């Protein structure tokens, strides 16, 4: 979502005649897009703003510091802005005000939420093969650990005409893969009865000729049978779902205000597997939520075994100022959280290796992005979102290749190209 927002603002700046440079030294305006979901990204922003302030002090000519996104929406970010002399501050709901901000007197601050944010259709980035399209902004859930409802506001679906027009433009520009974005894409259309629901929108988007269609993120509560049916009927979507569970213990789920319980999640997974026999399922898990006992944590490990996730994004609970869990509960010692995370990572590695090995010998379609870190290989991902490496000699540039998987590690599949499906694309 942040990448999409960065692209949106960059397009606005380009339309204004801005030229982009590689280093801070060459720039006269630096705009930092921020994340506030955990403490770590906030620390990164703090140190970056410190460096930028030093640069500003060194400069004789004007040097403008900007900050946008979720952290800018929070008091925590506004305090940083004061401290480090930020000249332009745009909250996550006001990023399209960049032109106005730079046209007037500085400092400029706007932390409002404006529906016009989605009137802008950024042109497709040249030469790329995959792109994001925002479906819905904000979140109507109230998970007690999470800043998002405060930073991105309530759910607002984008007008379907805009979504479809944007996708059409992307397809015409040669984009092969579109990822539909939202904190909770499954609730698309709930705020306007004249809009299609997510299941129908998925079908409509696929009908525009998108070769590969993905979506993030899904909330288990909004993952209806209608959506499962739409996925099963839409070959462009493939059999990949990211469905954050967060915890395996009902007690913790309740304290997180996750609305569902363990059994409900398992039932959704069973239903998904029934409709999508080759399902690749990934999740998000938070370890060390306040009050999580060893027994609660064991239930998360058990749930992992019961589901057999292909992969997981695993986070140590980060107490975020202003969230209900920060106000109400006491954080537990870091060592306990780190130790639990390590045990969970071990579990994830075992499962990822086993699940990835099951792909050895199978044909996949790899969307190759470019050179891998490993010399002699290029990297991409297949229709189930596995990262895949193939020899550079067999896939000379970005494009779509058919490959057979020959080897698997917990993090990667290694393949051999059997056919070039679509060659081309710049970067
Ligand atoms: N809307 C999405 C994801 C939002 S943030 C969803 O509900 O699935 C992405 C992930 O960050 C979450 O799924 C959660 O696992 C993690 N996260 C959010 N707040 C966190 C916090 N305070 N500490 C640790 N992890 C957090
Ligand atoms: Fe945050 Fe929960 Fe909303 Fe996801 S569903 S953005 S975790 S409040």
**How is domain 363-423 classified at the CATH fold level?**
OB fold (Dihydrolipoamide Acetyltransferase, E2P) (2.40.50)
In 88-238, DSSP assigns E strands to 88-91, 108-110, 130-134, 136-137, 156-157, 177-181, 212-216
Say if CB 417 and CB 394 are below 8 A apart: yes
pLDDT at 119: 78
Q: Give me the DSSP letters along 234-276.
A: -GGG-SEEE---B-S-HHHHHHHT-SS-HHHHHHHHHHHHHH-
What does DSSP assign to residue 332?
Answer: P
This prediction has a pTM of: 0.95
Residue nearest to atom 15 of ligand 1 (CA): 284
> In sequence order, which residues have a C-beta less than 8 Å from that of residue 309 and are 6 or more positions away?
281, 282, 283, 348, 351, 355
pLDDT value for 427: 41
Is-same-fold flag (2-114; 116-357)? no
pLDDT of res. 121: 75
Ligand 2 centroid to Cα of residue 155, in Å, is 11
Specify the fold of 2-114.
Answer: Rossmann fold (3.40.50)
Fold of 116-357: pyruvate-formate lyase- activating enzyme (3.80.30)
Looking at all shown ligands, the one closest to residue 243's CA atom is 1
Distance CA 38, CA 326 (A): 12
Per-residue confidence (pLDDT) for residue 425, from 0 to 100:
57
Q: Is 34 in the pocket of ligand 1 (CB under 6 A)?
A: no
Boundaries of every domain in the chain: 2-114, 116-357, 363-423
Q: Is 84 in the pocket of ligand 1 (CB under 6 A)?
A: no
pLDDT at 352: 98
pLDDT of res. 118:
77
What does the pLDDT read at residue 138?
94
- Closest ligand to Cα 216: 1
308: left (phi over 0), alpha (psi -120 to 50) or beta: left
pLDDT less than 50: residues of the chain: 426-427
Q: For residue 142, which atom of ligand 2 is closest to its CA?
A: 8
| pLDDT for the residue 116 | 78
3-state secondary structure of 38: coil
**Which pLDDT score is estimated for 426?**
46
Give pairs for 106-112: CB < 8 Å, separation 24+.
106/64, 109/78, 109/81, 111/72, 111/73, 111/78
Query: What pLDDT does residue 382 have?
Result: 97
């Amino acid at each position: 979502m942040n990448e999409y927002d960065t692209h949106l603002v960059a397009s606005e700046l380009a339309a204004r005649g801005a030229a982009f440079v590689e280093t801070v030294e060459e720039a006269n305006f630096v705009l930092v897009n921020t994340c506030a979901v955990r403490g770590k990204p906030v620390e990164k922003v703090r140190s970056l703003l410190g460096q930028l302030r030093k640069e500003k002090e060194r400069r004789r000519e004007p040097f403008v510091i900007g900050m946008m996104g979720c952290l800018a929406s929070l008091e925590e970010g506004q305090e940083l802005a004061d401290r480090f002399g930020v000249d332009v501050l745009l909250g996550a709901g006001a990023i399209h005000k960049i032109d106005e901000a730079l046209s007037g007197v500085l400092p400029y601050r706007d932390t409002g939420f404006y529906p016009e944010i989605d009137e802008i259709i950024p042109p497709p980035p040249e030469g790329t093969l995959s792109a994001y399209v925002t479906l819905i902004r904000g979140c109507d859930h109230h998970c007690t650990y999470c800043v998002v409802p405060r930073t991105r506001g309530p759910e607002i679906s984008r007008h379907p005409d805009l979504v479809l027009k944007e996708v059409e433009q992307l397809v015409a520009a040669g984009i092969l893969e579109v990822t539909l974005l939202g904190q909770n894409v499954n609730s698309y259309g709930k705020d306007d009865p004249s809009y299609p629901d997510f299941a129908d929108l998925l079908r409509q988007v696929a009908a525009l000729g998108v070769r590969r269609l993905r979506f993030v993120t899904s909330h288990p509560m909004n993952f209806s049978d209608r959506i499962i049916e739409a996925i099963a009927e839409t070959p462009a979507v493939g059999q990949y779902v990211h469905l954050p569970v967060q915890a395996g213990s009902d007690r913790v789920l309740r304290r997180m205000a996750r609305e569902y319980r363990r059994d409900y999640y398992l039932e959704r997974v069973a239903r998904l597997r029934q409709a999508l026999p080759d399902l690749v399922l990934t999740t998000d898990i938070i370890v060390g939520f306040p009050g999580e006992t060893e027994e609660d944590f064991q239930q998360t490990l058990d749930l992992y075994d019961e589901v057999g996730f292909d992969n997981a994004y695993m986070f140590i609970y980060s107490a975020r100022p202003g969230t209900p869990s920060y106000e109400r509960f006491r954080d537990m010692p870091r060592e306990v959280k780190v130790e639990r995370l390590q045990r969970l990572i071990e579990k994830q590695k075992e499962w990822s290796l086993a699940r990835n090995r099951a792909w050895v010998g199978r044909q996949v379609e790899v969307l190759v992005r470019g050179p891998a870190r490993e010399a002699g290989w290029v990297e991409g991902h297949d229709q189930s979102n596995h990262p895949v490496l193939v020899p550079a000699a067999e896939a000379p540039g970005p494009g779509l290749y058919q490959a057979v998987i020959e080897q698997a590690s917990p993090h990667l599949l290694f393949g051999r190209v059997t056919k070039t499906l679509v060659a081309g694309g710049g970067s």
